[in-house]
Structure formats: C-alpha cells, structure tokens
Structure 1
Amino acid sequence: MSKKVFIGRKLREARMYRGKTIDVLAKETNINKKDIIAFEEEKYKPTLENEMKLSNTLGFPREFFKYADNIKMTIDSTHIRPECTIPKVEQIAFKEKLAMTHRILTFLEGYIQFPQMNIPTDLNKNEDIEELATKVRRYWNLGDGIIGNMLTLLEINGIVVSDANIEKKGALSFSQKQTVNGNSRYFISLGNDKKSACTRNYDLAYELAYIVATEANIQSKKFSKDEFACAFLMPKESFIQDLKMVNDLEDYVELKKKWIVPISAIILRAYQLGEISYKKYMYLMNEMDKKGWLKKEPLEENIKATSPMLLKKSIDVLIDNNIMSKASLVMNLSNWGLHLNQDEVEVLLGFKEGKLTTEKNTTNNKKAKVTKVNFKSKKR
C-alpha cells in the first residue's frame, strides 16, 4: 500500500460509486469541470479546499484518495437485465458497490474461511435448460423438492448476495463475476423486491441462470433465464403432479404458498411443461392483470424474505472469537488499506445505521494475532 498526494483513479472510482457524472460533481462542489477532469487524469492535484469539497460531497474520507490498495481486481462479466430502467450512471454505481463489497470480503478472508465457490464444473453448452437446471439441483443435493430459500442456498455455495440496493426504487437484481488476486467469485445484488420471499427466490434463480450460462460458456442472450429459473425452482416431475390439481387462478395462489415463487412464474412453468395451452396462458395472465396482480400479487406481505447473512455472520464470528470489536472494524479496514466511512461499511455489510458504534471500546485491533475461523463451522 503506497501513499501519494492525490490519486486521480480513486477520485474517478468514488465519483462512479456515487453515480455522479463529472458535470454533476462540478455543480455540487462548485469546482470547475475541467479541473475535476484534470484531477482524475492526475495532470495536477486539487488544493486542500477542493480536496475537502470532493471528500465531503462524495462521502469518502480524504485518506481514500491518497492510498492505492494492493488488490488486483478485475470485473470479468456483469449481468444487468435489459428491462432495467435505472440510469446508466446508477448502474455503474451498483457495479462499484459490488466491487467494494468484494474488497471488504477479501479483508475478512484474512480472518474468516468463507464457503468456496461450489458450482458444477461439467456444465455443457450443448445441454438444454432442463438438463442444466437438473444438473445443478443434483450437484447441490436438492432432489426434486421445494427450495424455500434461494438466498441461503447461494450463500452456502459461495455466491455472495448483497442487499445494498433493496431500498432503491426501480432497482433490479444483477450479477457480477469478479476476480481478486486470481480467485474468482460471483456476486449478486438484490433489487427492490419489497422483501417478498417469492420474488426474491425467483430473482436469485434468474441470476443463477446467468452464472450457469457463463460457466457453460453459453452466450447470455441465447440463454432463457426465465426458463432456467422456472425449471430450477419447479422441477418437472414433482411440479407436474401439483399442476394436476389446478383449475382456476385461485388454485395458483395456493401453489405460490407452497412453492414460494410468483404466480406469474407458476403459470409460465405450466405453459412450458405443456400443462396449459397458450390460449389458457394468455387468459390467466389477462385475469391477473384485471385483478392488479401483475403489479402486486397476493401473499406478498405474508411471505417475507430473509436477508443476506454471509457478511453479517462473519462479523459475528470475529466478535465471538474476540478477534476484533464491531467498533474497531473500520479502523482495521483502514490499517489494511481500505479507507471508508463507518456508514459506508454498514451499508455494504447490510447492517442498520449505527451498528458499528454500539461498543465503547474502539481501540481493539488484533490484526497481529490473526486467527483463521471456518465460517461453515458456525451456526447459521
């Protein structure tokens, strides 16, 4: 970790992280646009006054712009849904948040043994979607039953899920494959799913489809993620048996309660399996539209989703094993080279505001006595 007077790349990183264009940042800081461009290109350095303006406006400590971390990170691929209406700068900000989350995880890996990536290595691009969905289910020993919690399933198989954007209106889930120091891992950011377990399960299965397509070397545009999500969440043999009992739209509500997936996905799956005709499919979807269910399905408030726990639990492990306190986490991150404000760390870890200031002792720093703790051995 080396210190410089001011690192232009870090300014650009912080600006993108906040979803700000150069024009917007110039207006908010009252700094000339040409100067900001020059700062980012390191043609010259900002004055102390301008440095403070940039730091305060972007919400990063001044040290963030002075230290170059030693993490070699690459974003191998990103999946953003084509129907996403979030402005481009905000999409870039979401990507930056996931990259920062990976940096924090890399720091925590000095103390915690996280679940390793556990994805089948024999995924074949010549296999159809049903076969690929079945292969992943078999690899994870899921049988043909109901998957009640996709989030936990992904976390225990080494896929990191973030809820940093769930309060953002219009945000959809998206995924990234990132490599740090030669080690690759997938990250998924949840969208604004209203904390509905059914929607969250489907969204995560949809993102898993992107991961499977990437690992099988299938062009994402040629791989139906909706078809995979339906096949993965509602396996053919066992799900067809339940469809035999369905007659009207209200029956689909009961299936939603059982399978923890959206009604619209259940109807789509019934059509995929040939259990209903296209005419029946369109009729059911029109009925859902008339009832207002395409905007808000029934049971959404009754079946609540769980939150990501991988990073939160890792902090509990550190506390339980007396490695560091919550209050010293930010300081230890800074000592490691990742300079972030406390509120930013809380957001990225999924904590409530003020979580890292609940302890009076802020001097506990045991980095010199690192203890590797196996995350899988802890209770969830």
Structure 2
Amino acid sequence: MSTTFIPARLEMARSIRQMTATDLAAASGTTAPWVSQAENTKKTPSPELIREFARVLHFPVEFFYRPVMSLPPSDAFHFRATSRLAKKDEATARSLSMLAIELSDWIEATYLAPAPAVPELQDLLDSDDWLPPEQAAEALRGAWGLGVAPIKNLLQLLESKGTKVFSAGGPLQAIDAFSFRQGATPVIFLNVHKSAERLRFDLAHELGHLVMHGGSLHVAPGKEKEQAANDFASAFLMPRADVLGAIRGNLMLEDVLVLKRRWRVSAMALNLRAHRLGVISEWTYSTLAKQLSMAGFRRGEPGSDLLIESSSLLTQVMTDLRSHGQGFVEIARALDVRAQDIRDLMLGLVTFAMEGDAINRARSTANLRVV
C-alpha cells in the first residue's frame, strides 16, 4: 500500500456517501474548512484522522492511499434534466463513475471482455456531417447489421459492443440514467427502479447520446439534446420500415397493447412513434394517450410480463467467482471498498440471487473468458 494520502479520494468517498464537508467534519471531530483544505491538497491529515475519515465514511483505510485516475471533463457526461439536477447528486454520480471505471478495469485485467465498438457519428459516417436522429439510428443499425428486426436484448447487444453498464440503484436513486466515455469505453448507468420497457428506452436514449453527442459534434445540455436522444431511441428500437409494415389501418387500444410486445417498448412510446411516423392521426394519438393514461400506462406498464434485461458481463463475472468460492468481497478487497459498494453497482443487473435476494434466475451467457 502507498503511504501517500490521495486528496481526491476523500472528496470521492464523501460524495459517494452524500455527506457535506460539514457533515464529515462534525462526525470526525474536525472542521469543514479543514476538510476542504485536505481535499484541495492544502493540508495533509494525520494517519489517525484518515482512520477516522475511513470509519465515518465506511471505506477501508487503504482506499485513501489508492492512486486515482482522472474522469472525462464535465461536459462529456450526459445527464438528464441537468437544470433540475442537484449539485450533490451530480457529484455523487461522478464519484460513483470513478468507482465503476475501477471495477471495469479490474474486469478487463481479469477477463477477456468484448472490445469497445460503439462509434461516434463522425466515425460512423467517416465525416463531420450531421444526421437527424432518425437517420443516425438507421446508420448505426446498418453498421451493426441489425436490419429492421426488433432487438431482443438491448443490454446484451451493447455489452457485446464493449459498453459497460452499471446500476444507479444504490445511492443514486434520485438520478435518472446517464452516460459517458472513458477513453474508448462507453459507460452507461441505469436507474433500475423502472419497468423493463422503460429501461430499454433509457439504454437506447443513452446510446443516442454516446453516438450523436461526443467528439466534434458535442451538443450543449438542454431540451434539444434530450429530445434528439429520445428520437434516436425511438427510431433505434422501432425502425420506421418495421413500424410501417406492422401497423395496418388505424390503431386501437388493444392493438397498442399487442404491438408494444413486438418492439418491447412502453405503450406510450409506441403511440408517440406511430403518430410521428404519420401512421395515426392527431385525434387517434390523443385519444389513445388519454386511454393509456387512465389505465395507468403513464406511470408504468400494467400487466407486462417483460423481464428486465440482465447483464451478461456482470453475471458471468459473478458466476465465475462463485464457482471458485468467491464473490463481492474479493472484488471489494481488490478495489479497497466495501462489498456493498460493488453490490450497488450491479443491483438489478445480475441474473442470479445475490446475498439477501429471493430470486433465482437462469444463468446468462456472454463472450467472456478469464485472462
């Protein structure tokens, strides 16, 4: 273990635990200005105070001596509704992202995982031209050889292209899905407390950001950027040609409830997509929207039997570890964090029962081998 205190680790730990400098100071017997100076390299805490920080923040002492990597700049993160995002929640998201990257690096060093293959739009087109979201989604489907068929498992498709997907179901429940690139590696965080249909849409939405809003085509946060990602997600999950071929005549409520299963999307998303493609009239769209809202489809997907998509990558990692009598504790020791921190990053994404869970699902397969 290094003997050099890493100030960034203190801020990272405090953000993950969602404690202010004042909170930490009060619990550890120091002052908020002192904590701030320690985080800004102006003062170095004694070994005794570091141990106290570790106790209060529930991190191993070794965590505060571990070298830290730099994250992408702030504008490389794609957050939803940034105008309403609390600063402390954004700080938590960035700090947890750092931990997720360290977990990703551990996986890469231990297993042979798929290489990153999610292009940015300028690489997809081999130019700096801009494409509307509809055409961008079609271009990516073409590059990946997907045609216009429905995508059975979007999460596992993205993992096969080298995307790392983590859960925001622990300390980040107040934050919606977000994404960024760490070098060439796309990273997506999901708020798993949603229906399976809406999680798929969130994945496609973040894919839209990763493809359209990086590099030389960077777009400032705002409603226009979010709408573009929504339009991309809609077109990627429900290709124009497939929708036009599948919907014959006018839509009724019963038709929406049947057809939404084809593309594994929410009823509301399908209604909007059909309207924007000109398949149904404004009156039919409005009528269906009211009927769906009255039936509870604005808040969820009543009666849906669609299972939440699981992570092949994380499931295979945990399955392999368990086959050797290991688990979250061993990963946590390697990263100098708590086992619960690793569990939180996988919450809702691993397909077998974790400690304390009552669900036992089938094992998933993945292109993953031990190095």
TM-score (norm 1): 0.80
Distance 1:74 1:247, change over 3 A: closer
Give the deviation of 1:332 after TM superposition.
6.1
Offset of residue 38 of structure 1: 2.5
Partners in 2 of 1:115 and 1:308 — Cα distance? 13
Instruction: Name the residue aligned to 1:343.
Output: 340
2:338 partner letter: N
Say which SS state the counterpart of residue 189 (structure 1) adopts.
strand
Task: Give 2:189's aligned amino acid.
Answer: S
Structure 1 171/250 Cα, relative in aligned 2: closer, same or farther at 3 Å?
Answer: farther
Report the equivalent of 2:189. Answer: 189
AA aligned to 2:6 is I
- The equivalent of 1:58 in structure 2 is 57
Q: Deviations over 1:307-359 (max 9, x none)?
A: 22313313444666x7x9437734761xxxx321222233334466659xxxx
8 Å Cα contact 1:193-1:199 kept in structure 2: no
What is aligned with 1:376?
Answer: 367
Deviations 1:266-320 (A, max 9, x none): 11111111112334323322332333321223234x2121222313313444666
Q: Which residue of 123, 140, 145 corresponds with 2:144?
A: 140
**1:158 to partner: Cα distance:** 0.7
Could you list the runs of 5+ residues in structure 2 that have no partner in the other structure? 357-365
Question: In structure 2, do the counterparts of structure 1 residues 83 and 330 end up closer, same or farther at CA, with 3 Å as the change threshold?
Answer: closer
Q: Structure 1 residues 277 and 193 mapped into 2: Cα distance closer, same or farther (>3 Å)?
A: farther
Residues 1:122 and 2:124 are matched in the alignment: yes
Report the equivalent of 2:19. 20
**How far is the alpha carbon of 1:208 from its aligned partner?**
0.8
CA contact (8 A) 1:147 1:259 kept: yes
SS of 1:161 mapped into structure 2: strand
Partners of 2:35 and 2:308 lie apart in 1 by 43
| In 2: Cα distance, 1:208 partner to 1:95 partner | 19
* Cα distance in 2, alignment partners of residues 3 and 19 from structure 1: 26
Q: Which deviates more from structure 2 when the two are superposed, residues 152-161 or residues 245-254? A: 245-254
Output the CA distance in 1 between the equivalents of 2:255 and 2:332. Answer: 55
Change (3 A) 1:132 1:331: closer
Contact 1:197/1:303 (CA < 8 Å) preserved in 2? yes
Task: State the distance in 2 between where 1:277 and 1:247 align.
Answer: 10
Distance 2:71 2:50 in 1: 26
Alpha carbons 1:253, 1:298 under 8 Å: kept: no
Matched positions, count: 346
User: 219-228 or 101-110, which moves further after superposition?
Assistant: 219-228
1:26, distance to aligned residue in structure 2 (A): 2.7
CA contact (8 A) 1:9 1:40 kept: yes
* Local SS of the residue matching 2:147: coil
Which has the higher mean CA deviation after the structures are superposed, 111-120 or 205-214?
111-120
The answer to whether structure 1 residue 296 and structure 2 residue 297 are counterparts is: no
1:378 positional shift: 5.4
Aligned residues: percent identity?
A: 26
Distance 1:189 1:85, change over 3 A: same
Aligned-partner SS, 2:77:
strand
The answer on whether the counterparts of 2:163 and 2:188 sit within 8 Å (CA) in structure 1 is: yes
Q: Give 1:74's aligned residue.
A: 72
Cα drift, residue 11 of structure 1:
0.7
Task: Write the letter of the residue equivalent to 2:213.
Answer: T
Write out per-residue CA displacement over residues 36-83 of structure 1, whole angstroms, 9 at most, x where no aligned residue.
1222234333355533332122121111112325x4553571011117
Cα gap change, 1:270 to 1:330, in 2 (>3 Å): closer
Q: For the residues of structure 2 that align with 1:341 and 1:160, how far apart are their CA atoms?
A: 21
Q: Kindly tell me: are residues 331 and 235 of structure 1, through their superposed partners in 2, closer, same or farther at Cα, counting changes over 3 Å? A: closer
Matches within 5 A, 1:360-371: none
Counterpart Cα distance in 1 of 2:354 and 2:41: 35
Does residue 41 (structure 1) correspond to residue 43 (structure 2)? The answer is no
Post-superposition Cα deviations, 1:109-146, rounded to whole Å, max 9, x if no partner, equal 22212111112432354323222111111222211111
Q: Aligned equivalents of 1:85 and 1:72: distance in 2? A: 26
Deviation at 1:263, TM superposition (A): 0.9
Compared CA separation, residues 245 and 155, structure 1 to 2 (3 A): farther
Root-mean-square deviation (Å)? 3.0
Tell whether the 8 Å contact from 2:17 to 2:171 is kept in structure 1 after alignment: no
- Deviation of 1:235 after TM superposition, in Å, equals 0.8
Is 1:89 matched with 2:88?
Answer: yes
State the TM-score, normalizing by the size of structure 2: 0.82
CA 1:269–1:46: 2 relative to 1, 3 Å = same
